[in-house]
Chain A
Amino acid sequence: MPLASFSDLAFLLLIYFIVATTLVQPFGITVDFPAGKKATQQDEQEDAPRINLKDNQVFYKDDLIAGDRATVIDKLNAKLAGLNLAAMEATDPKRVVPLEAAGKVDYDLYLQVMASISAAGGQVGIIQEQ
């Protein structure tokens, strides 16, 4: 009984599994949203950072950040870096950056803003639209 073809089949299956195996590691951000109480405390503080997204535009403390998408994210990163969020305690309510979205907002912009807040050491707090 010719057995040479068995090893051929074995190598074919092996090549299939080597090619089909996904070795790409996914990229992303980890966001542990705070409970509602922390977000309320943050709102009560003066000069609290607040990011609003409205119709795919970014507002920081109600001021529009103008420019194309890359410029807006860079400016937002600069503003968040100035808050020194990474140096705060992990449980400090001042680390929570409220994020509110209104109108038409794409997930692309939403993720980029969340990633900016996380990279600056802040914690994302979603404000529900009333």
Chain B
Amino acid sequence: MRQQRKKKRRVPITVPLASMGDIAFLLIIFFMVCSNFTKDNVPIDLPSSHDLEKLAEPPISVMIDAEGQIYFQGAKVPDAQAVEWGVAALLEKRNAGKTDVTPRDRAIKLKCDKAVDKSIFEPVIEAIANGGGVVEAEGLELQ
């Protein structure tokens, strides 16, 4: 007698996909909140050196591009004097009410193209120092 095998009814397995969209949106919100939209969209060829260390990102930035144009917080400025005023004003605003101002609180990021002459960058460095800032000069690490 032939055994009648009972055919097992295959139950379709469904994977609930609705939560995948929720997870994706949560991750998107996480990356959007964590992203820093910097104003560093100026093309600059940085210099390189063996003696550099990792820097944390200070919020105030000064940039000099290959043509010698100076940018303060992403906006063009005419000369180094404007950088000094801007640095002094921003540092005063940022450190107002602080009793112990550390060099980290006065950090100013400087990105300068490696081919810029000293007649352009030296006044900017002096302006940052005169404005009370600590220069964090950015470069590429030489391997």
Contact = CB atoms under 8 A, between A and B. Distances in A.
Interface of A: 3-4, 6-7, 10-11, 13-14, 17-18, 20-22, 25-33, 53, 73, 77, 101, 104-112, 114-116, 118-119, 126, 128
Interface residues of B, number: 50
17 contacts: A10-B24, A10-B25, A14-B28, A25-B56, A27-B138, A28-B136, A29-B53, A30-B103, A31-B134, A33-B129, A107-B47, A107-B113, A108-B47, A111-B47, A111-B139, A115-B52, A115-B139
B54 interface: yes
A1 to B, nearest CB: 13
Given A17-B35, A29-B52, A126 B136 contact: no
Contacts, number: 137
Contact of B137 (A105, A106, A111): A111
Contacts of B126: 33, 126, 128
Interface string B14-28: 000110110011011
Nearest to A6: B21
A112 B18 CA distance: 56
Contact of B27 (A14, A22, A112, A126): A14
Nearest to A117: B51
B115 A107 contact: yes
Contacts of A30: 55, 103, 107, 134-136
